[in-house]
Structure 1
Amino acid sequence: MSFTRDDVDIISRETGFKGFYRLDVLNLRHRLFNGGWGPVLRRELFVRHDAVCVLPYDPWLDQVVLIEQVRIGALEKSDNPWMLELVAGLIDTDESPEEVAHREADEEAGLTLRSLHPITRYYPSPGGSDEFVHLYCALVDSRGVGGIHGLAEEGEDIRVSLWPREQALHALHSGRIDNAASIIALQWLQLNVDQLRAGAGDAP
């Protein structure tokens, strides 16, 4: 049996909170696999703009660019809430995901992306959030990259660092890198690194 959006009946939807993000309260019911309709359910939905995440990779030096910044979601479950992550940003204007990728790479890491390679698109937590992530790997010239970046008007304090690919993978396996987008992108890179390096051409 295959369901569609028409098999979910949204009885009511109200905004419970609206700030930088939004929380909606829904009352809904949906069709059941064995037929008929289920009971009315109350659910809270965390409403976010879609996101773009980019793993910058230098195929000539075989290293990745990672950023580090404090994340409030890790405050109570990690001894170190400064997380190693990908370049990332929200699609909160009429920009395309590719345009957001280039803009955020410049703002967060001082990077110019030479080419974008789509990895996948996915919902990171669809049980309670509508966020949708566009995930890329981008080829970059990493020479001279590093330091502190970010937009002061947005309160960003972002440290940029270069990681040899094998060291980044070790950080993943040891648990130092523990966020979904970075894990997925680094695993994709390991599967596709030979093809990326072979097609990169001569070093800039």
Structure 2
Amino acid sequence: MKQKFSRDDIEMLSQHTVYQGFFRVDEYRFKHRLFAGGWSEPVTREVFERGHAVVVLPYDPVSDKVVLIEQIRIPVVADASTPWLFELVAGMIEPGESAEQVAHRELREEAGLVANKMVRVCDYFASPGGSSERFDFYWAKVDASLASGIHGISEEHEDIKVHVMSREAAYQLLCDGVINNASTMIGLQWLQLNYHKLREGL
């Protein structure tokens, strides 16, 4: 189904940065076309600008195992039973880098693995109501028997533990609510729908 509106149906009145620290917040003032016809009144929205990121699902189709990482995420400390989360490999895209380059780099830095194959699946917006951040999602064919240990860049205060588990066990953690971050949920649900295709021809 074709959507009715595009970027051309927005009138940007102003845009400026209201905060610049480790992350950035921009303020947008705009008008947009309405479904019922005509234009909206001026709208003001603050947008959290943190750049775009890559998320990688390391999967071994031979052993049917998944590699997850565990690290502390302090923003959830008030609302989660523990701020140490099971996650997929992920990282920010720096200027001059392609998404696939970041996928290979982060897989090496966070899990100590080299992909036998890196396949782009899709892209998605993490929280489009307040952030511009877009994720490029890849699955990486890996040898899960090579995954172990603690990884991360010490200068970036990363302390990342690698976990190897069966696809079924990883999906059960999602079903039990242990895995509750969006990128990992999306990745494991995609894998559950597609693992038969990934294992074909082995």
Q: TM-score range by the shorter chain?
A: over 0.9
Residue 86 of structure 1 corresponds to 88
Distance apart, 1:82 and its partner CA: 0.7
Residue 29 of structure 1 corresponds to 31
Residue 175 of structure 1 corresponds to 177
The answer on whether the counterparts of 1:102 and 1:112 sit within 8 Å (CA) in structure 2 is: yes
The answer on whether the counterparts of 2:115 and 2:142 sit within 8 Å (CA) in structure 1 is: yes
How far apart are the structure 2 equivalents of 1:73 and 1:122? 21
- Residues 89-144 of structure 1 show CA distances to partners (whole Å, capped at 9, x for unaligned) of 01112111111000000001100011122222111111111111101111101113
Normalising by structure 1, report the TM-score. Answer: 0.94
Give the aligned CA root-mean-square deviation in angstroms: 1.2
State the one-letter code of the partner of 1:110.
G
How far apart are the structure 1 equivalents of 2:5 and 2:53? 27
Residue 8 of structure 1 corresponds to 10
Superposition pairs of residues 122-161 of structure 1, within 5 angstroms: 122-161=124-163
Q: Secondary structure at the match of 1:26?
A: strand
The answer on whether the counterparts of 2:113 and 2:146 sit within 8 Å (CA) in structure 1 is: no
Q: Secondary structure at the match of 1:118?
A: strand
Q: Secondary structure at the match of 1:188?
A: helix
Q: Secondary structure at the match of 1:103?
A: helix
State the one-letter code of the partner of 2:167.
R
State the one-letter code of the partner of 1:163.
M
How far apart are the structure 2 equivalents of 1:13 and 1:32? 21
Unaligned runs of 5+ in 1: none
Q: How many residues align?
A: 200
Share of identical aligned residues, percent? 50
Unaligned runs of 5+ in 2: none
Tell me which stretches of 4 or more aligned residues in structure 1 moved more than 3 Å: none
- Residues 134-187 of structure 1 show CA distances to partners (whole Å, capped at 9, x for unaligned) of 011111011131111000011111111101111101000001111111111111
Normalising by structure 2, report the TM-score. Answer: 0.95
Distance apart, 1:73 and its partner CA: 2.5
